[in-house]
Structures are given as structure tokens and as C-alpha cells.
Amino acid sequence: MSADGLVKDGPVKVGILISGRGSNMQSLVSASRAAGAAYQVALVASDKPDAAGLVWAKEQGITTFALSPKGIGKPAYEAAIDQALRDAGVQVIALAGYMRLLSGDFVSRWQGRILNIHPSLLPFYKGLDTHERAIAAGDAKAGCSVHVVTEELDDGEVLGQAKVPILPGDDAAALAARVLVEEHRLYPQILTEFVRR
Ligand code: GRF
């Protein structure tokens, strides 16, 4: 999988899709503001018009787009998101707590150019409740993965992972907080490597 064809003479334009608080989106935006950053955030879009992350993005002066698929159906919803991304000149999409499965049509229009961060050591624990399942299984380690998005849930080439220990007495919230610190470090690093390669 490669991002061949990306413009190499300036920061690559990234569109971030969120559904909630957007802490990973914030870490991606912060990293994009470092001198010499390889990407810039051209759009933050959400399927939840009331997503907390949208408020932060607007405050930062980032272009935002919000649309609920409710009432219009998935094809029309995805067509509108696709158009908003293209209008903003987006070259690479970063999913950051985006809680919807993208259709095969959408994924193929952005073939190899959509990344996601997932809070488990893929291929283990695809889907929801990753931390609960890792604790229940008695695992010694948990973590997060950045991967290329395909039409299969939490599938696609894994580009990078970070591990944390699962400690005695951990509940899902404690473990999620420990993993999240690593998510915020890993995602900007892997996105940067991805747009440079
Ligand atoms: C993160 O744990 C991410 O890995 C998962 O959903 C959570 C989103 O958190 N996909 P945030 O919205 O980035 O704060």
C-alpha cells in the first residue's frame, strides 16, 4: 500500500473524520503545526453534528463539515462527505474515533489513502470494547494500531503499533487512558511517515 502520487513539494492535505471528543484529531492537528510538518489538516468532518471535537477544530480556525446520515441514507451521506473532502483539496483521510464503517465504494474512491487508529494490538480485538476484552482474556499487554482502511472492519495493513502493560487492578477506563497516551504519540508519527513515503 502506498501513497504514491501525493504532492511532494508542500505539506500533504489531510482530512480528519471524527464522531466524538476528537483527542486523536487534536494530537494530529498539533503535530501538523510543527515547523516543517509533512501534512496540514485541511478539513475536520463528522457524522455527529454535536461532536465535541468539532467545537475545538472550529476554535482552531480549521474548516469543518458536519452531516448526519440519518434521514438521507448512507450513499447520499458518503457522497456529501466525499465532496467536502475534495472541495478542501484533501489527499489523505485520517479516521480518528470515527464510529462508522465506510462503504466499499467510498474506500475504493480513496484506495490506500485512508488511515485509522484502533485501540488494540491488531489483528486482536477488532471492533468495540477492546480494553474489556483484553483484560477479560488475561492479556499482559494492550496497545493501539494505525492501519490502512479497507472495507473490512479494522482490517488492512498495519503501519505501526504501540504497546502498554496491563496492570493488576486495571479496569477498561484505566487501560484506555494508558493506551490513549500512546495513541496521541503514535498517530502523528505514522501519518507523517505515511505521507512521506
Ligand atoms: C480512540 O481510542 C480511538 O483509538 C478509537 O476511538 C477513540 C477515539 O477517541 N477509534 P478520540 O475521539 O480520538 O478522543
pLDDT in tens, 72-102: 999 999 999 999 999 999 999 999 999 999 9
| C-beta of 46 in contact with ligand 1 (< 6 A) | no
- Identify the pLDDT of residue 3: 53
**Which of 82, 85, 86, 87 minimizes the C-alpha distance to 105?**
82
CA distance 22 to 27: 9
- Identify the pLDDT of residue 1: 39
CB 187 within 8 A of CB 30: no
- Identify the pLDDT of residue 4: 56
> Which residue among 46, 117, 149, 181 has the greatest number of ligand 1 atoms within 8 angstroms of its CB, and so is best to mutate?
117
- Identify the pLDDT of residue 67: 98
**118 among known catalytic residues:** yes
| C-beta of 96 in contact with ligand 1 (< 6 A) | yes
The two beta strands, 141-148 and 114-118, are: antiparallel
pLDDT average, residue stretch 53-69: 98
Q: Which residues of 158-179 are buried (b: 16+ CB within 10 A; e: fewer)?
A: bbbbbebebeeebeeeebbebb
pLDDT tens string 118-163: 999 999 999 999 999 999 999 999 999 999 999 999 999 999 999 9
